[in-house]
C-alpha cells in the first residue's frame, strides 16, 4: 500500500520513523513530498542555526522516497492522487497532510517593505542574517516565545534589538502579569527594549526605500532596519480547502480524535490539524498525533484494529529563554471567579517570580508560573490536578522533594513522548526494570529533552522500594558498598591494597569498575606513585600508560601548562617534539596542547624531552585535576580587577595530581566579564574589586550546569581554604564517576549544608580536611619524572614484550590538512557498553 | 587447574600438535595485567591472573578494530576470569574468548604455559 506524506517537518519525520520502526512486514511504501529545499530538521532549535548548529534530523532509510523542493499543489480525492509543482501525479492509498503552519503577518501598512521578515525556516534565518550585515537596528513584532527567541537572535547578529508586543506583557499566553513583568526586567537587563501594550500603527521606510522604523499607535517610533514578524501562526490548510475537506473558521484541517479527516483515506497531523477545536503549536502534541496516525495506519487492514486516539495535550512549558528560566503549567490564569487562589512570591533582587494557583481549600494544584527559577517545575507540573503534599508556600520555596511514588497514574511525566506515571510503573513491573536506562529504552520517557529524568528516577526508586527490592548502592558485583562507604573503610581501617580490601570486604577479584575506583581512593589517601606495586594492576589503561588512549590504540600526551601561561621557549619545545615524533597537535579547551598518535614505546622518549624542558604531567589521563583556565587578568586587561593568571597558576600547582571520583576542572576570571568561563567549572573563581567570588559545582559537558555562588569577596587565603575543604569533602563522599555538579544536587541540604560544613565546620571535620590537603600538596611529585627514573616501570612501555623495538604494524595513518589522522584496519562492530 | 604452578597452562586445541613460541620471562608479567607478544606475525595478548593462571587471547578488540585487549583490566564476573577491553569496556571470558556483554562476539584463544621460568604461547 502506498502512503503519501505532504510536508517534511518534525511531525512528518516522526510519523515516518514510527511507521518504519513498527511496519516490520513492509506493508507501506512511503513517499514524502516537502516544499523546503532540505529534509526535516529540528525547528524547535531553529535559532541555533545562526550559531552553526546542524539541525537536520537523521535521514529515513533508503526505502522511503523523500522529494525536497517540491510542493503538493492539488489533491484528487476521487482518483486518490496528489499533483506536485514538478508536474508529478503521485497515487496514494493513504494520504497524511503534515503541511505545518505559516507565520501570521498582520495587515499593517508597510509589511511588504524590504527588510521585513518572518521567523520560521532555515531559509528565513539565512535571509535575515544576510540582510542584517552592515545594519544596526532591529525589532521583533510579537513578544511570545518564538518572538523573544528571534529578538535574541537579532541581537546575536550585532544589532540593537527590541520587542513590540500588543498585549500588556510578554508571553501573554503562558504568563500572568507578574511573571511577564519579571521576564521584562530580565530581557531589558540583556539590553533589549520592550514595548508592550501599544498596538502598531505602521512600518515606515527610510530614504533607501527599505523599512527604517515601527510607528506605534501612541505616536512613538522604534528604529528598526530589520523587522521580524512573530505574531502567531496560521495552519497551512490550502490543500485541504482546494479538495473540499472541512476546515475550521480560523483555519486548520478538521480531524477527529484519530486525526482522520472526513475522507477516510486522508489524515492531518501537526500544526495544520484542528483537533478538538484546537491547533497545537508545540512539538510534543504534534509528535503524539504522528504516533496515533502511525498506529492507525499499521492496523488499517488487520483484524486487530487500533484504538490509539489523540487525547489533547498538556501545554505546560519550560524553557530557558536567554538564560532565564521560564515555566508555565496547568491553568495559571484561573481566578477568584472559579474559587481559585493565587499564591505568589517575588524577589526583585534575584529576578525571581513564582505563582501557584490552587483550589479554594489550598489542597489541589491548578497551575502556576515560574520565572527566574524553574527548578521545581518537574515536580509541580506532576501535581497539577492532584493534592499538594505540603502547604503551597512551602512548595514555592522548593520544599518539593516529592516521593515519585504517590503521583497519580494519569500524570504525564514525559511530555515530549507523552509517557504517564502509570506507563512507567507498568513497564518497571512487567519488564522487571531496575535502572533508568532500562526505563528509558522501554518507555521512551526522558529520551527527548531529558528534563523528566529525575522524576523517572524517583518513580523507579519508589517502585523498587515498594516491591521490596532494595535500591542498590553497590559499586559492582564485588563490593556491596558505595564509593563513599569504601572510602571510609579504606581510610578508617588504613587499608593500603586492593587485595586486602577485596578479601576482607568484597568478593571475587574485582573488575574494570571497582579496580580504578579503589585505585583512585588509594591515591586520594596518599599511597605513593599510582604505578607502584599492586596499584599498577588496578589502573585503567590511561593511568597505566599515563596518557590518553585514542580509537586506534595510540595515545595522546598533554603536558601541564598552569593557568594557560607558557613561554615561547616551551612552546617551541612542544612544537619540536610534535614534529620529531610526527604527532597530530590540537589546542584543547583547557588552554593546553594535546599531542596525538603516540605509540606506547614512544611515550617515554616523548616525555624525556618534555621533562628536560621543564614540563610535568598534565593528568589529562586521570580522574584528577585537569586545568585551571584563566583570562589574562589585571596585568594586561583594561578591565581586569585582580591578577587572575597568578591565582590560576597558584591553584593549579596546589591541586595538580589530586585524584578524585571524576575529573576536576577550574577557571579564574579577572573580572565580572567572565572570559575564563569559571561558572561552568567544578570550582570557579571570579575577581571582584574586593577579592574573589567562589562558584562551586558547575559543569559543561553532556548536562551543563551553572556553578552556584558559594562565597563572595574572599581573600586569597580564604579562597584557598574553602576550595581545599570543598575538594576533600567531595573526594570523600561522592559516588564513582560523580561530577561535583550531580554530587551537590544529590547532597542532602544542598548548598546551604555545604556552607555549614565548609564555613561553619558543622561536622567538625575541617581540620581533618585541611590536613588531608596539606598532605597532598606536600607529597606531590610529577608522575612522569618518577616513571622516567624507574627502569622497571619503563620496561612496560613496549608494543610487544618479545620484540621491544618493533612498532605495532597495525597502527597506520593518513594525512589530512597537513597532519596525521588514524586509519582503522577494520570497521568496529558496535558501540560502547553502557554502565 | 590442578597442574603444579610451574607447568600451568591453558589447554591446546584437541588433537593439534602445538608449536610453542617463547614470549618472555615469567617475571616480565605483572599479576592481573597483560602484555602483547608477536607470535608468528600475530598479536597475542598474554595475561597472568591473581591465581597464577596464564591465558592468551587474540589482541584485536572486535568492537573497536584496535589491537588493545592486552591493556585491559583483569577481574572476575560471577567467578569467570575476565578482561575488559580498555576501548569500550566490553568484557571477555579469558578461558574461552567469548564476549560476556555481547555473546555474538568473541576473540580467538591460544594455549599458553609457564615452562622452565619462561612464558610460552602455542599455535
pLDDT digits (tens, 9 = 90+) for A480-495: 888 888 998 898 888 8
- The pLDDT assigned to B96 comes to 95
Residue A452 has pLDDT above 80, yes or no: no
Q: Is A512 in contact with B89 (CB distance < 8 Å)?
A: yes
Quote the strand ranges of A93-205, DSSP E: 94-97, 101-103, 116-118, 138-141, 162-165, 193-196, 200-205
In this structure, what C-alpha cell is assigned to residue A577? 617534539
Confidence of residue A234 (pLDDT cuts 50, 70, 90): very high
For residue A509, what is the nearest residue in chain B, using CA coordinates? B75
Measured CA to CA, the distance from residue A761 to residue A528 in angstroms comes to: 29
All 3 cell numbers of residue A338? 472559579
For residues A173 and A232, the answer to whether their CB atoms sit within 8 Å is no
Report the chain A residue with the minimal C-alpha distance to residue B61. Answer: A828
Query: How far apart (Å, rounded) are the C-alpha atoms in residues A24 and A31?
Result: 17
Among the listed residues A673, A676, A675, the one whose alpha carbon sits nearest the alpha carbon of residue A665: A676
Q: Which residue in chain A has the smallest CA separation from B121?
A: A802
The pLDDT of residue A447 is 66
Q: Do B33 and A803 touch (CB under 8 A)?
A: no
Residues of B in Cβ contact (< 8 Å) with A499: 50
ipTM of the complex: 0.88
- Full strand arrangement of the beta sheet holding B20-25: B20-25, B118-122, B112-115
Mean pLDDT, range A458-487, rounded to an integer: 82
Which residues of chain A lie closer than 8 angstroms to B102, CB-CB?
829-830
Set of cell numbers at residue A120 = 520560521
Would you state the pLDDT for residue A776? 93
- Could you please report the per-residue DSSP string of B48-81? E-TTS-EEEEESB-TTT-SB-GGGSEEEEETTEE
- What was the pLDDT predicted at A387? 77
Q: Is A401 helix (H, G, I), strand (E, B) or coil?
A: coil
Q: Do A537 and B35 touch (CB under 8 A)?
A: no
Residues on chain B touching A790 (C-beta within 8 angstroms): none
Least confident span in A319-323, A433-437, A799-803: A319-323
The model's confidence at residue A826, banded by pLDDT at 50, 70 and 90, is low
Find how far residue B20's CA is from the centre of its chain. 15
- Under an 8 A CB cutoff, do B38 and A541 touch? no
Size of interface A-B (CB pairs under 8 A): 125
The answer to whether A182 and A272 are in contact (CB under 8 A) is: no
* Contact present, A509 and A518 (Cβ < 8 Å): no
pTM value is: 0.55
- Which of A267-276, A529-538, A706-715 is least confident? A529-538
Question: What are the φ/ψ torsions at residue A786 (nearest 5 degrees)?
Answer: -60, -40
Mean pLDDT of the region A416-435: 84
CA distance A518 to chain B (A): 13
Distances (CA, A) of A209 to A106, A472, A497: 21, 70, 81
Q: Which residue of A544, A799, A833 is in closest CB contact with B88?
A: A833
Please name the residues between 784 and 813 in chain A that touch chain B, using a CB distance below 8 Å: 795-796, 799-803, 806, 808, 810
Q: Say if residue A399's pLDDT is above 50.
A: no
- Partner residue opposite A828 with nearest CB, options B49, B63, B71: B63
Tell me whether residues B71 and A510 touch, CB distance under 8 A. Answer: no
As a whole number of angstroms, the distance between CA B21 and CA B27 comes to: 17
Residue B5 is predicted with a pLDDT of 39
Inspect the interface and report whether the beta carbons of A802 and B66 lie closer than 8 Å. no
Distance to chain A for B16, nearest Cα, Å: 25
Contact between chains at B89 and A825 (C-beta distance less than 8 A):
no
Give the pLDDT score at A9.
94
CA within 13 Å, CB half, A485: 11
The parts of chain B modelled with pLDDT lower than 50 are 1-9, 12
Which chain B residues are Cβ-neighbours of A828 within 8 angstroms?
Answer: 63-65
Q: Counting Cβ atoms within 10 Å, is residue A680 exposed (0-12), middle (13-18) or buried (19+)? A: buried
**Cα of A192 to nearest chain B Cα, Å:** 48
Going from the C-alpha of A445 to that of each of A20, A330, A422, A826, the distances in angstroms are: 20, 20, 12, 36
- Please say whether the dihedral angle defined by the alpha carbons of residues A412, A413, A419 and A422, taken in this order, is positive or negative: negative
pLDDT of residue A359: 83
Q: Taking residues A354-360, what's their average pLDDT?
A: 85
Contact residues, chain B, for A810 at CB < 8 Å = 43, 60, 66-67
Q: Rounded to 10 degrees, what is the CA torsion of A759, A764, A768, A774? A: 20
CB of A581 within 8 A of CB of A598? Answer: yes
Residues of A numbered 708-727 whose beta carbons fall under 8 angstroms of chain B's beta carbons: which are they? Answer: none
Encode pLDDT of A705-754 as tens digits. Answer: 899 999 999 999 999 999 999 999 999 999 888 899 989 988 888 898 99
Choose among A509, A829, A835: nearest Cβ to B105.
A829
Tell me the three state secondary structure of residue A108. Answer: coil
Give B-chain residues touching A477 at CB under 8 angstroms.
77-78
CA–chain centroid gap for B119, Å, is: 12
pLDDT at A88: 95
Tell me how close the Cα of A501 comes to any Cα of chain B, in angstroms: 14
Q: What is the pLDDT of residue A835?
A: 47
Amino acid at each position: 500500500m502506498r502512503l503519501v506524506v505532504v510536508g517534511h517537518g518534525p511531525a512528518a519525520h516522526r510519523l515516518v520513523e514510527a511507521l518504519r520502526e513498527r511496519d516490520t512486514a513492509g506493508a507501506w511504501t512511503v513517499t514524502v513530498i516537502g516544499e523546503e529545499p532540505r529534509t526535516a530538521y529540528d525547528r524547535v532549535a531553529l535559532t541555533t542555526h545562526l550559531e552553526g548548529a546542524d539541525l537536520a534530523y537523521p535521514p529515513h532509510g533508503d526505502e522511503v522516497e523523500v522529494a525536497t523542493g517540491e510542493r503538493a499543489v492539488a489533491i484528487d480525492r476521487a482518483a486518490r492522487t496528489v499533483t506536485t509543482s514538478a508536474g508529478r501525479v503521485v497515487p496514494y492509498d493513504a494520504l497524511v497532510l503534515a503541511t505545518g503552519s505559516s507565520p501570521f503577518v498582520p495587515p499593517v501598512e508597510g509589511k511588504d517593505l524590504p527588510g521585513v521578515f518572518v521567523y520560521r525556516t532555515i531559509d528565513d534565518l539565512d535571509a535575515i542574517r544576510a540582510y542584517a550585515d552592515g545594519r544596526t537596528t532591529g525589532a521583533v513584532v510579537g513578544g511570545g516565545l518564538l518572538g523573544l527567541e528571534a529578538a535574541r537572535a537579532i541581537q546575536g547578529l550585532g544589532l540593537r534589538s527590541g520587542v513590540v508586543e500588543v498585549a500588556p506583557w510578554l508571553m501573554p499566553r503562558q504568563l500572568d502579569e507578574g511573571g511577564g513583568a519579571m521576564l521584562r526586567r530580565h530581557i531589558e537587563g540583556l539590553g533589549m527594549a520592550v514595548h508592550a501594550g501599544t498596538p502598531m500603527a505602521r512600518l515606515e521606510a527610510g530614504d533607501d526605500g527599505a523599512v527604517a522604523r515601527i510607528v506605534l499607535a501612541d505616536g512613538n517610533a522604534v528604529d528598526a532596519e530589520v523587522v521580524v514578524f512573530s505574531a502567531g501562526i496560521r495552519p497551512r490548510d490550502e490543500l485541504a480547502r482546494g479538495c473540499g475537506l472541512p476546515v475550521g473558521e480560523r483555519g486548520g484541517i478538521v480531524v477527529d480524535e484519530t486525526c482522520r479527516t472526513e475522507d477516510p483515506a486522508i489524515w492531518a497531523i501537526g500544526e495544520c490539524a484542528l483537533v478538538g477545536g484546537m491547533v497545537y503549536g508545540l512539538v510534543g502534541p504534534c509528535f503524539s498525533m504522528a504516533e496515533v496516525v502511525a498506529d492507525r495506519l499499521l492496523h488499517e487492514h488487520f483484524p486487530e484494529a487500533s484504538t490509539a486516539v489523540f487525547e489533547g495535550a498538556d501545554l505546560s512549558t519550560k524553557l530557558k529563554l536567554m538564560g532565564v528560566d521560564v515555566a508555565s503549567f496547568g491553568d495559571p490564569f484561573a481566578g477568584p471567579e472559579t474559587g481559585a487562589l493565587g499564591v505568589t512570591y517575588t524577589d526583585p533582587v534575584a529576578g525571581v517570580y513564582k505563582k501557584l494557583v490552587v483550589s479554594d481549600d489550598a489542597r489541589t494544584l491548578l497551575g502556576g508560573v515560574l520565572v527566574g527559577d524553574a527548578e521545581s517545575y518537574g515536580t509541580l507540573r506532576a501535581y497539577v490536578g492532584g493534592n499538594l503534599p505540603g502547604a503551597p508556600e512551602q512548595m514555592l520555596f522548593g520544599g518539593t522533594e516529592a516521593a515519585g511514588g504517590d503521583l497519580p497514574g494519569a500524570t504525564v511525566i514525559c511530555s515530549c513522548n507523552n509517557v504517564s506515571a502509570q506507563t512507567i510503573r507498568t513497564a518497571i513491573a512487567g519488564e522487571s526494570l531496575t535502572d533508568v536506562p532500562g526505563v528509558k529504552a522501554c518507555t521512551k520517557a526522558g529520551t527527548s529533552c531529558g528534563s523528566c529524568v529525575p522524576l523517572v528516577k524517583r518513580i523507579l526508586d519508589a517502585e523498587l522500594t515498594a516491591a521490596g527490592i532494595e535500591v542498590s548502592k553497590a559499586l559492582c558485583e564485588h563490593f556491596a558498598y558505595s564509593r563513599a562507604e569504601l572510602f571510609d573503610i579504606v581510610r578508617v581501617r588504613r587499608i593500603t591494597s586492593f587485595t586486602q580490601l577485596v578479601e576482607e570486604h568484597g568478593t571475587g577479584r574485582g573488575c574494570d569498575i571497582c579496580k580504578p575506583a579503589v585505585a583512585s581512593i588509594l591515591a586520594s589517601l596518599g599511597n605513593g606513585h599510582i604505578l607502584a606495586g599492586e596499584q599498577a594492576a588496578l589502573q585503567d589503561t590511561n593511568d597505566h600508560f599515563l596518557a590518553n588512549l585514542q580509537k586506534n590504540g595510540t595515545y595522546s600526551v598533554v603536558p601541564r601548562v598552569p593557568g594557560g601561561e607558557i613561554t615561547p621557549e616551551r612552546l617551541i619545545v612542544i612544537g619540536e617534539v610534535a614534529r620529531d615524533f610526527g604527532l597530530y597537535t590540537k589546542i584543547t579547551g583547557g588552554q593546553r596542547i594535546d599531542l596525538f598518535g603516540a605509540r606506547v614505546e614512544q611515550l617515554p622518549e616523548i616525555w624525556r624531552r618534555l621533562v628536560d624542558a621543564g614540563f610535568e604531567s598534565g593528568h589529562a589521563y586521570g580522574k584528577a585535576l585537569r586545568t585551571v583556565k584563566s583570562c589574562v587578568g589585571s596585568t594586561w586587561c583594561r578591565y581586569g580587577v585582580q591578577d587572575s593568571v597568578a591565582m590560576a597558576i597558584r591553584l593549579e600547582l596546589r591541586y595538580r595530581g589530586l585524584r578524585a571520583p571524576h575529573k576536576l576542572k577550574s577557571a579564574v576570571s579577572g573580572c565580572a566579564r567572565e572570559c575564563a568561563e569559571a561558572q561552568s567549572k567544578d570550582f570557579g573563581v571570579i575577581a571582584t574589586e574586593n577579592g574573589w567570588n567562589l562558584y562551586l559545582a558547575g559543569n559543561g559537558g553532556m548536562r551543563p550546569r551553572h556553578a552556584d555562588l558559594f562565597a563572595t569577596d574572599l581573600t586569597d587565603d580564604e579562597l584557598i581554604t574553602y576550595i581545599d575543604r570543598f575538594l576533600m569533602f567531595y573526594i570523600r563522599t561522592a559516588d564513582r564517576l560523580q561530577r561535583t555538579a550531580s554530587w551537590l544536587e544529590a547532597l542532602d541540604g544542598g548548598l546551604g549544608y555545604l556552607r555549614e560544613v565548609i564555613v561553619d565546620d558543622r561536622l567538625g571535620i575541617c581540620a581533618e580536611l585541611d590536613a588531608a590537603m596539606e598532605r597532598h600538596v606536600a607529597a606531590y611529585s610529577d608522575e612522569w619524572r618518577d616513571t622516567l627514573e624507574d627502569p622497571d616501570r619503563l620496561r612496560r612501555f613496549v608494543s610487544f614484550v618479545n620484540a621491544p623495538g618493533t612498532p605495532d604494524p597495525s597502527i597506520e595513518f593518513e594525512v589530512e590538512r597537513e597532519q596525521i589522522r588514524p586509519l582503522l584496519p577494520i570497521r568496529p562492530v558496535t558501540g560502547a557498553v553502557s554502565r | 587447574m590442578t597442574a603444579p604452578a610451574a607447568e600451568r597452562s591453558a589447554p591446546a586445541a584437541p588433537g593439534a600438535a602445538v608449536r610453542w613460541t617463547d614470549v618472555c620471562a615469567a617475571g616480565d608479567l605483572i599479576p592481573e595485567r597483560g602484555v602483547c607478544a608477536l607470535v608468528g606475525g600475530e598479536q597475542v595478548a598474554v595475561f597472568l591472573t591473581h591465581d597464577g593462571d596464564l591465558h592468551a587471547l587474540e589482541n584485536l578488540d572486535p568492537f573497536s578494530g584496535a589491537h588493545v585487549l592486552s591493556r585491559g583490566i583483569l577481574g572476575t564476573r560471577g567467578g569467570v576470569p575476565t578482561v575488559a577491553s580498555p576501548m569500550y569496556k566490553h568484557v571477555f571470558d579469558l578461558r574461552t574468548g567469548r564476549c560476556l556483554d555481547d555473546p555474538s562476539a568473541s576473540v580467538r584463544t591460544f594455549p599458553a604455559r609457564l615452562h622452565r621460568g619462561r612464558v610460552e604461547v602455542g599455535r
